[in-house]
Chains A and B, each alone.
Chain A
Amino acid sequence: MAKVLMKGNEALGEAAILAGCRYYFGYPITPQSELPAYLAKRLPQVDGVFVQAESEVSAINMVYGAASAGARVMTSSSSPGISLKQEGISYIAGAELPCLIVNVMRGGPGLGNINPSQSDYWQATRGGGHGDYRTLVMAPNSVQEMADFTLAAFEYADRFRNPVLMLSDGVLGQMMEPVVMPSPKDYDIDSKKWALGYTGKDKTARNLCTSIFMGQEELEEHNWSLYQKYQVITDFFKANKELAVEEYLCDDAEIILVGYGIISRILKTVVEKCRKRGIKAGLVRPKVLWPFPSEIISKLADKASKFLVVEMSYGQMVEDVKLAVEGKKPVYFFGRTGGAVPSDFEILNEVDKIVRPD
């Protein structure tokens, strides 16, 4: 496909089709509604299935069903809708089913408003639902990455048999940028030997996808197996640093700015402006939020003297940064909420206050 001008929500939808996703179940909510609207139009053109469910709860359970059958499947919503899906996400994680869940974050808590926000970080990275489980969490920062990360997300979901959560926000979902769609990927449904209906060439017994394990020993064994899988995912991103993190001008940085998603774009501007003013600033942008790139930040804390975390929240990821820095260096925070996107000017002022307190 040639370069086209797309909204982030649309780009993600098109990329899902290129990834082989043929099932979408969801319910409209601003600011993600362009995504189901796009797929409602596109999926029938590729013999796919689009269902506007009667609720978010229904939608996530339809995802459970399609994922159990081995299909590439997705749902999407915005913050309050993602809260509604939590029970189903826990079940899907427990049953070890691959799928993509997209959260185009809006302001909260409660109904909040329709403006952009990053206040669902805890919900995304700590599980959100009940039980010992993890979702792999990806954080794009451009319309191009909304597309690229979607293909990667379906790959990771299948590879690790785990739900992947794409943590976007209202700005990324609604903004338009030029995008070149990635090449389509095929996947082999027959390789999913765990899926319902898989009989293989030798007609093996029926599979069961479930998250219920009645016996204490049985559940403990299952949870231990999940824990080991989460360790495998963590090790994968430790070994493939470039997939997990973007570092920018960190080598000689005295202050390192940390932000994800759309904030990281603003921080890059701030880093440039700092450098022009003689302040050695750098940027760390986690592309994957769980597993969090703690090791990389910890190493940077051996060199840099200060950290400033910026979020569209009152401070959630900052806790992970503090854990990673292990008290070696001070970690400062600046955040805006309610739909406010901090300006480069505001952040530059914060940097000034930290670096030049007098």
Chain B
Amino acid sequence: MNKNHIAADKPSIFLVGGTGAGKTELALNLSVYYSNLFGSSNLLDLDIVNPYFRVRQFVDDIVQKNINVICPEPRVRFGDVPALPSAAWGALESHEESVICDVGGGEPGLRLLGRLKEIADKRKSSVYFVLNPFRPDYIDIKHIEEEFRHTCDLCKLDVTEIIANPNLSDYTTVEDFERGLDIIRGLSETTKVPIGFCSAPEKAAKELGADVGAIPGFCEYKGMKMFIIERYWSVPWHFGVVSA
């Protein structure tokens, strides 16, 4: 078997971007997608700072989907310490499996990537800048571009594509999505970094009129690739009131 061919097909992906961009949700879904495609995949939890809503919370659920979750060992998994799993290097070096890296934790998390640069470059990794323009820091395109440049500087990796993830959680309207997508197109034009794909949960994608297929999976949306995701953050207050 041609090892280079395997390496080309089984990607190494780093998801970077600000808090609330949707990196973890995307990482979970991309891992499932590549596991369905190749029989298994590695999901690397590089969120060393945030206390809640991390990949490691889903270890028991997604291990059944043939996903090898690489995160700190159980006794420190929910500790308030910035622990990096030792198995991370092995997963990135092996080339035998696809590996999706969820790089959370803001600036400290991004700085961590500098240490992985050599290994990431060697494997010709894809670096996705995940962007949700509805975060409070993104007052205008100038602020978004600053955040983009800052992210690139900190992580020492070249961002290969922008992933458009415009959302207001489960309350996103079609108008919100389109408005957000326009803002992200603006960043792509300014930075000359292409939009790899946009992303939406199944319900929102149907409302947008996308031709939804397998979940998670890709479909077409207005000449752009759209990645349909499943929401893993299920909360027990479906009926709970949000007054906004």
> Taking the complex as formed, is B80 at the interface, i.e. its CB lies under 8 A from any CB of chain A?
yes
Q: A4-B134, A4-B135 are in contact. Are A266 and B237 (CB under 8 A)?
A: yes
> Taking the complex as formed, is A241 at the interface, i.e. its CB lies under 8 A from any CB of chain B?
no
B169 contacts across to A, CB distance below 8 A: 5, 176-178
> Taking the complex as formed, is B20 at the interface, i.e. its CB lies under 8 A from any CB of chain A?
yes
Cβ contact within 8 Å between B53 and A174: yes
A171 contacts across to B, CB distance below 8 A: 52
Q: How far apart are the CA atoms of A4 and B176 in the complex, in Å?
A: 11
Task: From A31, A176, A262, give the contact of B51 (CB < 8 A).
Answer: A31
Task: From B19, B51, B240, B243, give the contact of A269 (CB < 8 A).
Answer: B240
Q: How far apart are the CA atoms of A31 and B50 in the complex, in Å?
A: 9
Digit string of B134-153 for contact with A (CB within 8 Å is 1, else 0)?
Answer: 11100000000000000000
> Taking the complex as formed, is A265 at the interface, i.e. its CB lies under 8 A from any CB of chain B?
yes
Identity of the chain B residue whose Cβ is nearest the Cβ of A264 in the assembled complex: B240
Interchain residue pairs with CB less than 8 A apart (28):
A1-B136, A3-B168, A4-B136, A4-B168, A5-B134, A5-B135, A5-B168, A6-B20, A6-B136, A31-B51, A142-B240, A142-B241, A142-B243, A144-B243, A170-B52, A171-B52, A174-B50, A177-B169, A178-B168, A180-B244, A266-B236, A268-B241, A269-B237, A271-B239, A342-B236, A344-B236, A344-B237, A345-B236
Task: From B51, B53, B171, B239, give the contact of A178 (CB < 8 A).
Answer: B171
B217 to chain A, nearest CB (A): 25
Task: From B136, B171, B236, give the contact of A10 (CB < 8 A).
Answer: B136
> Taking the complex as formed, is A158 at the interface, i.e. its CB lies under 8 A from any CB of chain B?
no
> Taking the complex as formed, is B242 at the interface, i.e. its CB lies under 8 A from any CB of chain A?
yes
> Taking the complex as formed, is A337 at the interface, i.e. its CB lies under 8 A from any CB of chain B?
no
**The 7 A-B residue pairs with the shortest CB-CB distance in the complex, in nearest-first order:** A265-B240, A265-B237, A178-B168, A174-B52, A269-B239, A30-B51, A344-B236
Q: How far apart are the CA atoms of A268 and B239 in the complex, in Å?
A: 6
Q: How far apart are the CA atoms of A185 and B157 in the complex, in Å?
A: 44
> Taking the complex as formed, is A209 at the interface, i.e. its CB lies under 8 A from any CB of chain B?
no
B171 to chain A, nearest CB (A): 5
> Taking the complex as formed, is B89 at the interface, i.e. its CB lies under 8 A from any CB of chain A?
no
> Taking the complex as formed, is B132 at the interface, i.e. its CB lies under 8 A from any CB of chain A?
yes
Task: From A7, A177, A343, give the contact of B244 (CB < 8 A).
Answer: A177
B50 contacts across to A, CB distance below 8 A: 174
B125 contacts across to A, CB distance below 8 A: none
Digit string of B150-182 for contact with A (CB within 8 Å is 1, else 0)?
Answer: 000000000000000001110100001000000
Q: How far apart are the CA atoms of A203 and B171 in the complex, in Å?
A: 55
A345 contacts across to B, CB distance below 8 A: 236
Count of A interface residues, CB-CB < 8 Å: 41
In the complex, which of the residues A144, A145, A265 has the most CB atoms of chain B within 10 Å of its own CB atom? A265
Identity of the chain B residue whose Cβ is nearest the Cβ of A33 in the assembled complex: B51
Digit string of B204-244 for contact with A (CB within 8 Å is 1, else 0)?
Answer: 00000000000000000000000000000001111111111
> Taking the complex as formed, is B78 at the interface, i.e. its CB lies under 8 A from any CB of chain A?
yes
Q: A30-B51, A174-B52, A178-B169 are in contact. Are A269 and B238 (CB under 8 A)?
A: yes
A117 to chain B, nearest CB (A): 13
Taking chain A's interface residues, is the majority helix, strand, or loop, or is none over half, making it mixed? mixed
In the complex, which of the residues B80, B136, B168, B241 has the most CB atoms of chain A within 10 Å of its own CB atom? B136
Identity of the chain B residue whose Cβ is nearest the Cβ of A147 in the assembled complex: B244
Cβ contact within 8 Å between A179 and B51: no
Count of B interface residues, CB-CB < 8 Å: 27
Task: From A115, A176, A266, give the contact of B240 (CB < 8 A).
Answer: A266
A141 contacts across to B, CB distance below 8 A: 240
A114 to chain B, nearest CB (A): 5
Q: A7-B20, A262-B237 are in contact. Are A142 and B134 (CB under 8 A)?
A: no
A180 to chain B, nearest CB (A): 5
B163 to chain A, nearest CB (A): 16
Cβ contact within 8 Å between B241 and A176: no
Cβ contact within 8 Å between A343 and B20: no
A167 to chain B, nearest CB (A): 18
Task: From A114, A177, A262, A344, give the contact of B242 (CB < 8 A).
Answer: A177
B21 to chain A, nearest CB (A): 10
Identity of the chain B residue whose Cβ is nearest the Cβ of A14 in the assembled complex: B136
Q: How far apart are the CA atoms of A11 and B200 in the complex, in Å?
A: 24
Q: Which of A8-37 contact B (CB under 8 A)?
A: 10, 14, 30-31
Cβ contact within 8 Å between A341 and B236: yes
Digit string of A302-319 for contact with B (CB within 8 Å is 1, else 0)?
Answer: 000000000000000000
Cβ contact within 8 Å between A3 and B78: no
> Taking the complex as formed, is A113 at the interface, i.e. its CB lies under 8 A from any CB of chain B?
yes
Cβ contact within 8 Å between A5 and B132: yes
> Taking the complex as formed, is A272 at the interface, i.e. its CB lies under 8 A from any CB of chain B?
yes
Digit string of B45-62 for contact with A (CB within 8 Å is 1, else 0)?
Answer: 000001111000000000
B242 contacts across to A, CB distance below 8 A: 142-144, 177-178
Identity of the chain A residue whose Cβ is nearest the Cβ of B168 in the assembled complex: A178
Q: How far apart are the CA atoms of A143 and B170 in the complex, in Å?
A: 14
Beyond A7-B19, A170-B52, A178-B169, 20 extra complex contacts between A and B, CB < 8 Å: A3-B168, A5-B136, A5-B168, A5-B169, A6-B136, A7-B20, A10-B136, A114-B78, A115-B78, A142-B242, A148-B243, A175-B235, A176-B169, A177-B244, A262-B237, A268-B240, A269-B237, A269-B240, A341-B236, A344-B236
B238 contacts across to A, CB distance below 8 A: 269, 344
Digit string of A119-131 for contact with B (CB within 8 Å is 1, else 0)?
Answer: 0000000000000
Identity of the chain A residue whose Cβ is nearest the Cβ of B137 in the assembled complex: A41
A341 contacts across to B, CB distance below 8 A: 236
